[in-house]
Each structure stands twice: as C-alpha cells, then as structure tokens.
Amino acid sequence: MTGQEHIIQVMSDIGTNFQKKQDEYKGASDDVFRNFNQGAKLNGESPEATLLGYVNKQIVSLFDAKNINPDRLNDVDFINEKAGDIATYMIILMGMVRNKPGKPKHECCKDKGTILGSTIFNAPKGDRENDCC
C-alpha cells in the first residue's frame, strides 16, 4: 500500500469508528450529541467542553505510553484506537458547532446580523447578506 492508500484506509476506519461512537453515545435517543449534552449537565459545562474532556483522556493515554512504555507508540492497534478516537471526537465537535442554533457557521458570517427574522446560521442559502457560507 502507498502512503495515500493508508491514509484513505484510515479515513474509512474513522468513518466506521464515528458510526460506532454515534450509536453508542445516542443510545435509544435521536440526539446524536446526547452523551455530551448529558455530561455537560452533570459537569456544569458546555457539551463542547465535555467532548474535549474525552479528547484529553485519549491524549493523556498517549503521553502515558510515551513516558512509561514508548514501544506502545509503535503498536498499530493502540495508535488506531487512541488517534482514531481523537479524530472521531474532532468530527463530532465540528458537527456540534455547525448544529448549534443561533451561531454562524463560519467566521466570515459572525458580524452579519440577522436576515429575514432568522440568524444567518439558520437562514436558507441565498437569504444571507453577502452569502459567504
């Protein structure tokens, strides 16, 4: 396999991991962010902060491996699990931010106000002033 083929396989694996995590986190609910929303309520923080706590757990595990057993960093299964979870959480974070009502999708939209009684984030494409999104 070439380097590019390995990266394409990794992206596919992340997609599979993402689906597994989504099924696990939403449980019987339709809320794909349920686990993070519930964690946020328990911790008195935002769902995004809760998600970053999950990321931190994976990063700490990687640093522990580096400092305690550096050979673990050559263990494909270990790296796939830790880095794959981090990548999956980052994808979920991107979805959380894009899904948040009342917030612009992109930095370029943040100061453009409200159009047709709806925030730019929720306005249909074409209804946004200077449509940047």
Computed over every residue of the chain, the mean pLDDT equals 80
pLDDT reading at 89 higher than 60: yes
Instruction: Give the whole-number percent of the chain exceeding pLDDT 90.
Output: 51
Domain ranges of the chain: 3-100, 104-133
Assess contact for 122 and 101: CB atoms under 8 A.
yes
Quote the pTM value.
0.70
pLDDT reading at 120 higher than 60: no
Distances (CA, A) of 26 to 18, 38, 50, 57, 88: 12, 10, 15, 20, 15
